[in-house]
Every structure is written in structure tokens, then in C-alpha cells.
Structure 1
């Protein structure tokens, strides 16, 4: 079904709107998923900071404890280096843990307990180191063995371990959420791109189909224009020929029919003149002189029969002319019936119908026709072929045996050409058009006929949508070429439109 301009416009607007909506959805979804990914990234960074600060704080506590024990055991101040560094960094690291406690979902109480344990541990470390530095090594060792420092350290380790564990859990969840958001973003972009591609493909298909239909329509219009020009030219030529035939017909009616009328009028006047001697004889009665009697006798025996004979001859000629005109007129009004015709069979049948006449004195008819079919009026075809074969036989040359060849072929245009070629006495070039005129004959008038046969043939052929032409030279034979359309029905429809 062809796409109308309205449907094309509506479809493309809908596809454009669908593509725009899909693009808008992709943009909104991408923006939302990007923001979610950014939030999750920030959360990952914060959790990692919490874990890092917690691990650093635990490491500082362990370093401080290690420095204390090394110093107490070795009594060498060099071992206090880790302790001193740990104490220096403790406050800043503790503030990092406090600042990031929210990322690890820690309550203020938990942070306070952790800070209390760590500060208790640092106080215990500072107290033992101070005792040792004052020379109270044994008191410092005894304070260490009391276990208060170990309790602070265990409590600190537990709190820091909890923070680290929570941070790890939160970090895995944040990373998973971030990967999920990234995956959703990718699928959103992919699916959105597919939807847009589908809309674009549908729009392209619609545009391509509409463009193809426009191109086909333009091509068809161009072909129709070319065909229309050819048809106009054909119709113009047909109208020109018809006009010429009407003019010739008018001439024939005014000339050929007028001639018998003139004869009738002339001999009617002769009859009137012939009546005068007869009237004079009857008026004289018994007193009529021999001269009056001779004139009356001559009028009755000679003049009167002669005038009546000429009048009768003229009326017969006029009747023949009128009948010929009526015959051609009836042919133009006859309803043509298109049917499939096997040309080879039709030509064979036409040749068989005149076989005996053609075979006189050794003559013959040859049919040269490939398998060929057309749709035309069978009766008209039989009349045309029969008339042309009758003419070939009638006007055979007395100097040679009659040879007639009937050929048929299909032209590249699809039309069919039928040639009927004979070796008869031929037609002068000046009479090639004259022979198709009504009541016109060519050459010696030694054969019976009224001069209507070829006029009748041309009328029939043109009614079939074709034309007939002749090629001939005197004493060199004649070829009649009949051009017919392959389908009479198409010609009849074209004539109607």
C-alpha cells in the first residue's frame, strides 16, 4: 500500500518524537545513575579513609607499646623512638578517625570508648616509661605486669577491629553498589542506543520507501508522459487520416453519386424531348404526315428505350455506390470481439479457402509464420486476409505462375506485422494511396469490381487499431503489410480513456 504524504509526515513526526523521548530518558537516567555512582564513589573514599585512619591508629598504639617494652627490657633510650613517633602522631590520627566515624556508621559512644581506651593505654605507657626514666625499673616492670595496659590495649584492639570490620563491610557494599550503578548506566546507554537505532531505522525505512515510491511515481509519470505523447501523436495521425478520409468520402459522395444523377437528369430531359414527336403524331391523328409518323416511330423505337436504358444503368450504379457506402458504414459500427487467435492457423485457413483458385496454372500459396498468438476480432481478420488473397489471385500476372507468400512476425514493440506478398502485375507508385480510396481502382480495368475492397480492408484494419500499407512496382508484384496490436482489448480501453 503506497504511503500518503500525510501518513509519511505523521509517521516521521511520531518516530522523531519517540527518538527524542528515548534520548531524554537516556539523558535523565544517565544523569541520575552518574550522580548515584558519584555518591557511591564518595562513600568508598570516605570508608577507605576511615579504614586507613583506624589501621594507622592501631599501628600507632602497637608501635607505642613496642617502644615501651623495648625500652623497659633493654633499658636503652634508643628503643623509645617508635613510642615517641606514635605519641606525636596520635592526636592527628585520632582526629581522622573521629572525622570519618560517620562513614563507618560508628556512634559517638563507641568513638568515646575507643578514645578512652587508647588514652588510658598511652597514659599507662607514659607512666611506666617515666618510672623507668627516674630509675624505678622494677616499679615500671611491676606496673606493666599488673595488666591494666593490656586491658586498655585489648579494648582498643576490639574497638579498632570493629571499626575496620565495619569499614570493610561498608566498603564492599559501596563498591558493589558502584559496580551495579555502572552496569545499569551501561545497559541504559546500550538499550537506549538500540531504541534510538530502531526509531532511526524505522524512520529511514519510511523515508526510503516514500522516496522509492516518489521515484517510481516520477518514472511512471515520465513513462506516461512519453506514452501520452506517443498516443496523442497516434490519435492526431488517426484523426488526420480520418479527416482525409472524410474529405475523400465527401468528394466521392458529391462526385461519384452526382454523376449518375446528372445522367438521370439529362436523360429525363431527353425523355421530355422524345415525348414531343409522339405528342405531335397523336395531335395530328389521321392527318399526320409521313414525316411526323417517322419521327414518332423513331422516338418510340430508338430514343425512348435508349433514355430508359441509360436511366436504369445510372440508378443501378447509384444503388451500387450507396450499398458500398452502407457496407463500410456498417463495418465501422460492428461490435468487435477480442479473442485469442493463432496466427499460423488463421493464415493456413485463409490460404486453404482459396487453394483451388491459386493452384490454377501451377500457382500456390506459402505460409511462413512462427507460433504466434494475438487477441483480435476473428471475423475481421478473416475478411482482411480473404480480400487480400482474392486480389492477389484476381490480379495475377499472365506471364508467370502465381506465387503468394504469407508471413507474420512480432516486432520489438510487441505489435504484429503480417505481410502478403505476390508476384502479380503490380501497382504503379502513383496509385499506392489511391487504391485504398472508395470506388478507386488502379491499372487496366479488365477485371470486375467496384473499387471498394481495399477501402473496406483499410477500414477494418484501422478498426482493429492497426494500419495497412503497400509496396509495389508494375510487373514486379505487390506486398501488403498489416500492422496489428497484440491485444485489441487494450486498444479499445485506450480509445475509451
Structure 2
């Protein structure tokens, strides 16, 4: 029996109202959960900053103590640079800590005692340094040997440790609460989606009697809803992974660029000290410079200055190399991908031919399996990936056996292709399986030239292609790099833009 116009209108209005109620419920619940997550995140950031400030203060005090001990033991003014720098930084770190813990009464109550201990520690260090400067090394050594400085540092570690330990606990609880809210948000989305689907289903049943176009639209909606949750999970996983990589990258870049700067600062101080010797000789007034001044100036000109300049030049060269490596990866990440059909078997054979003479030096062979497929992807990126893997296999081969490289593939259906690049080289320790993909990080004996960017570049390229790379390896047994690659990059790009 055909549905009447009035019944159709009533059914449509009822379904519309039900859909609006479901949508408002989803939006309201989602906003509430998002607000909770924002509160958790804000609290997490504040606690992390308080913990970081406590750790920075303790680290600066350790640096201060290290510089003091170096100066006391050697009497060398070169150790005064790190000591004075750390001394200046203590007040800043202490002020930052006081600011960051102000919002936490349980942390702030420790500040008076911490400030008192820091002042006592600074007095103890200043006494020993003054003793050395006044020519009383025995007094300085006696002060270092007694337990006063150690007891103060132990107390500072205990107080600052209480802050960091409690901050760790709070951050862990914050992460747990955030995950719980995220889970609730996911369930809210699922339940809301089910409710909306039910409403849509009812509407489709009513409207199906009027037009076939609505039936087609209903099928498309069902198909989209069936894949929606998976797409949301995949996007969430990609965002989490990208955030982790950004944090690791920021730490690595900061750490590796800081090391050459520290060298430059240290040897700049040495240049300044050497310059004083030369000035004493060159800028002498009417009286002739003493023999010791002449010897000191000659030694500074022939030894100290060239050494310091050489180390500064080496450090700046290293910084330039690190920055160029970062720019290379950045440029490749911004390069527009050119999607075309790529025969992986032909590409692998071309890469093998390019390194054939190097493989032949060890009586080695390269086996390219016929299972390598043809994919729709970016040829230049894949050439760089295979080229890096070939170079790695040759660079880290075992000298006591012929090099063997094999490349095979298997089709995993919707998950795409898995390509295995295997060599019988010296292998990678289990604890370094993830480390080798980090920028400026290398594993094993550092007996081969390199900056540690090759595999980081490979992983960046693979992820730009919608895939990934992992490693299986044992020391002395060889290495297998497992590449996951989608069969059609253009579909991946469309999916990401949707």
C-alpha cells in the first residue's frame, strides 16, 4: 500500500526531529569531552613545565659543581668558564622553578628550603673557588673532601626529586584521564553514528517508495559509515605518530646542534686566554717583555691559537652538515609527488646494476625476485629509498663472507604490498631497531663515514608515499628492511584530502 503524502510528511518530521536530537546529543557530549581533554592537557603542560624547571635547576647545579671541581683539581682558568656560566644560570633556573611551581602549593612549600639549600651550595662552591684563587689549594681540597657539599646536594636531589616524582605521577594520571576521555569520545561517536544510521535507515525506508535515487544515496551512506571508524582510527594513529616524531626530532636537533656550540664556546674562551699572552708580549710598554712572556706568546701563537681555531672550524662544519641534512629532508618532504606507474622489479634491477661493481668486489650477488609488482607511486622517492638501502648493505657488509642481497615482495590485499630487502651483513642490535630511523642516530661500531640521516630519510620518504618501513635484524646474521607500500598512491592522496 503506497504511503500517503501526509504520512510521508509526518514520518519525515519525526525522523528529522529524532536526527536533530541525536546530533545535539553527540555535539553536546563531544564538546564536554573535548573540554575535559583540554583541561587535562593544560594541567599536563603545567606539571611538565614544573618538572622540567626542577630538573633544569638540578642539572645546572651539577654543571656548577663539575666546573668547580675541575677548577679546584687543576687550577686551570679554562674551567672557570663553565663554572661562571652555570653560576649565572642558577638564579635564572631558580626563578623559573619558583614561577612554575607557584600554581602547585604542594610544590611551592618546598621552595624556601630549596632556595636555602641552593644558597648554601653556592656558598660552599664559592669558598673552594676563592681558596684556589687565593693560593690555598689545601684548604680547597679539604672543603671538597668533607661531606658538607655532598649532604647539601643530596638534600637538593631529594627535594627536587620529590617534585619530579610527583610531577611524573600527575602526568601519568593526566595521560590516563585523557585516554579515558578519548575512549568515551570514541564510544559517543559510535553510539551517535548508530543512532544517526537508524534515523537514516527509517528515512530511507519511507523515501525508497518515492525514488530510486534515494536508494542509491542510502547505499553510499552505508558504505561511508562502514569505513568511517577505521578512517578516524587511522588518522588518529597518524597524528599521534607525527606528534611523537616531532618531539623526537626537536630533541635530537636541539641536542646535536648544541654540542658544536658548546665546543665553540669553550675554544673561544681558550682563544681569549691565548690572546692575553700575545697581548702581554706585543703590547708591552717601554720595558722589554720577560722571557716567560715571550715563551707564553710563542706557545699561544704556535699551539693554542691554531688548535682552538681548528676545533671551532670543525664544530661549525659539523653544524653546517647537520643543518644541510635537516634542510634536505625538509625539501624532500615539501616536494610535490609525481604519481606514475613504477615497475619495482625494473627499479630494483637498475639499483643493483648501479652498485654491481661494489657488490662484485666481495664476490657478492643481488637477487631480485620476480614477485616485485608494478605500483602507482612516486618514482624518484622509490629510487632514493632503494638507493639508500643498497648503500647501507654495502657499507655494513661482513668482510669475511660474500655479500648477498635479496629483494622480494608479497601482496597483502587491501593493506598493500610488503617488500623485504634482505642482506647478510653485520646486523643491527635489537635495542637499536627503532633508533636507526632517528635523525643523526647510528648503531653499532662507528667505523663507516656517515651523518646518520640515511634511514631517517628513507622512513620520511616511505611515509610520504603512504607506507612505512621497519627492520628485523640480529647481530652477525644480517638485516631485513620491511617496506609497506600502497598499490596506488593517488588513492591515498585522495583519501587524505577527503
Same fold (TM over 0.5): yes
User: 1:484 Cα shift?
Assistant: 0.9
User: 1:409 Cα shift?
Assistant: 2.2
- Counterparts in 2 of 1:36-75, with a 5 A limit? none
- Counterparts in 2 of 1:220-259, with a 5 A limit? 220-259=220-259
- Counterparts in 2 of 1:194-273, with a 5 A limit? 214=215, 217-218=217-218, 220-273=220-273
Aligned to 2:322: 321
User: 1:347 Cα shift?
Assistant: 1.7
Could you tell me how far apart the structure 2 residues matched to 1:246 and 1:383 are?
23
Q: Does structure 2 conserve the Cα–Cα contact (< 8 Å) formed by 1:343 and 1:369?
A: no
Aligned to 1:288: 289
- Counterparts in 2 of 1:7-26, with a 5 A limit? none
User: 1:218 Cα shift?
Assistant: 5.0
- Counterparts in 2 of 1:91-102, with a 5 A limit? none
User: What whole-Å deviation, never above 9, does each CA across 1:23-78 have from its counterpart, x for those lacking one?
Assistant: xxxxxxxxxxxxxxxxxxxxxxxxxxxxxxxxxxxxxxxxxxxxxxxxxxxxxxxx
2:452 maps to 1:451: yes
Rg: which structure is higher? 1
- Counterparts in 2 of 1:70-81, with a 5 A limit? none
RMSD, aligned CA? 2.5
The verdict on how the C-alpha distance between 1:266 and 1:446 changes in structure 2, with shifts beyond 3 A counting, is same
Aligned to 1:192: none
Aligned to 1:179: none
2:329 maps to 1:333: no
Structure 1: runs of 5+ lacking an equivalent: 11-203
SS of corresponding position for 2:469: strand
User: 1:207 Cα shift?
Assistant: 5.4
Q: Does structure 1 conserve the Cα–Cα contact (< 8 Å) formed by 2:427 and 2:477?
A: yes
Q: Does structure 1 conserve the Cα–Cα contact (< 8 Å) formed by 2:372 and 2:409?
A: no
Q: Does structure 1 conserve the Cα–Cα contact (< 8 Å) formed by 2:385 and 2:461?
A: yes
Structure 2: runs of 5+ lacking an equivalent: 10-204
SS of corresponding position for 1:284: coil
Could you tell me how far apart the structure 2 residues matched to 1:372 and 1:481 are?
15
User: 1:406 Cα shift?
Assistant: 0.4
Q: Does structure 2 conserve the Cα–Cα contact (< 8 Å) formed by 1:342 and 1:374?
A: yes
Q: Normalising by the residue count of structure 2, what TM-score does the alignment of the two structures yield?
A: 0.56
Aligned to 1:432: 433
The verdict on how the C-alpha distance between 1:487 and 1:428 changes in structure 2, with shifts beyond 3 A counting, is same
Could you tell me how far apart the structure 1 residues matched to 2:470 and 2:327 are?
24
SS of corresponding position for 2:413: coil
Aligned to 1:378: 379
Could you tell me how far apart the structure 2 residues matched to 1:348 and 1:244 are?
36
User: What whole-Å deviation, never above 9, does each CA across 1:318-366 have from its counterpart, x for those lacking one?
Assistant: 0000000000000100000100112221121121111111122210100
SS of corresponding position for 1:287: coil
Could you tell me how far apart the structure 2 residues matched to 1:429 and 1:208 are?
63
Aligned pair count reads 297
User: What whole-Å deviation, never above 9, does each CA across 1:424-460 have from its counterpart, x for those lacking one?
Assistant: 1100010011000000000000000000000000111
SS of corresponding position for 2:405: strand
Aligned to 1:113: none
Q: Normalising by the residue count of structure 1, what TM-score does the alignment of the two structures yield?
A: 0.57
Aligned to 2:279: 279
Q: Does structure 1 conserve the Cα–Cα contact (< 8 Å) formed by 2:416 and 2:485?
A: yes
Q: Does structure 1 conserve the Cα–Cα contact (< 8 Å) formed by 2:208 and 2:214?
A: no
User: 1:372 Cα shift?
Assistant: 2.4
SS of corresponding position for 1:362: coil
SS of corresponding position for 2:407: strand
Structure 1 moving runs of 4+ over 6 Å: none
SS of corresponding position for 1:475: coil
